[in-house]
């Protein structure tokens, strides 16, 4: 075991068993999603790493060749690295390993989806804002005990609604319980996204 979780990160203790794993978008950092995390779950602990890739100085969680075209080898490596970080952080901060909820925006949502597909043991639920299909694994994992909420923008210039549907279908084929919401929005988050994600998390 590594002595310290090896991503730059923020950790904010909460007063429930749940931990939100906050994964920022391209150009974000480990502090970006802390207010969002607090808003969608006022009681959870917050664990928020900074992506290790730099694209023109902007942090990301994995490399891409162009917008929406991912370096799949790097994505797989980075997904495993992030999953190992979460495992280390669970030990280090004494978190409940069975109550980790991934909360990702854009690039962060894409690596969260990748982690569901490649390392299904890490998260038992996820809220994905503006996500696309990160990769299609050779063998689908068993996600029958995993719940996923996806928030999409019906005018998103980066993610067509058909791509969101493809992600929904992939996760459902793996057995996940998927809720999809389309908002009157583009790629950016709206207060409707946060209200809906808050309601979904509260009902669990």
Interface ranges with ligand MLT (CB under 6 A): 25-26, 64, 67-68, 106-107, 110, 158
Is 144 part of the annotated catalytic residue set?
A: no
Q: Measured between alpha carbons, how far is 58 from 88 in angstroms, rounded to an integer?
A: 25
Which of these is catalytic: 9, 92, 187, 198? Answer: 187
The pair of structure tokens assigned to 73 is 């080898």
Is 92 part of the annotated catalytic residue set?
A: no
Nearer to ligand MLT, 26 or 87 (CB): 26
Which of these is catalytic: 45, 48, 106, 114? Answer: 106
Minimum distance between the CB of residue 61 and ligand MLT, rounded to whole angstroms?
8
Helix boundaries (H) for the chain: 34-40, 72-92, 107-118, 161-173, 191-202
Is 138 part of the annotated catalytic residue set?
A: no
Tell me which residue has its CB nearest to ligand MLT: 107
CA 143 from centroid of its chain's CA atoms? 15
The pair of structure tokens assigned to 93 is 């901060």
Nearer to ligand MLT, 25 or 151 (CB): 25
Q: Measured between alpha carbons, how far is 100 from 152 in angstroms, rounded to an integer?
A: 22
What amino acid positions are annotated as catalytic residues?
A: 106, 156, 187
């Amino acid at each position: 075991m590594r002595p310290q979780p090896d991503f730059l990160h923020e950790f904010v203790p909460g007063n429930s068993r749940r931990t939100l794993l906050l994964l920022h978008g391209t150009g974000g950092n480990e502090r970006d999603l802390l207010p969002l995390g607090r808003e969608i779950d006022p009681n959870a602990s917050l664990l928020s790493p900074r992506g290790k890739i730099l694209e023109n100085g902007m942090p990301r969680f994995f490399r891409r060749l162009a917008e929406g075209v991912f370096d799949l080898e790097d994505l797989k490596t980075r997904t495993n690295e992030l999953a190992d970080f979460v495992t280390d952080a669970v030990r280090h901060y004494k978190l409940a390993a069975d109550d980790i909820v991934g909360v990702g925006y854009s690039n962060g949502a894409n690596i969260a989806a990748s982690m569901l597909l490649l390392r299904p043991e890490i998260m038992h639920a996820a809220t994905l804002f503006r996500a696309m299909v990160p990769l299609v694994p050779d063998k689908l994992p068993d996600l029958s005990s995993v719940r996923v909420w996806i928030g999409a923008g019906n005018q998103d210039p980066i993610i067509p609604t058909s791509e969101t549907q493809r992600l929904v279908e992939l996760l459902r084929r793996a057995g996940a319980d998927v809720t999809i919401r389309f908002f009157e929005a583009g790629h950016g988050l709206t207060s409707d996204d946060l209200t809906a994600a808050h309601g979904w998390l509260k009902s669990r």
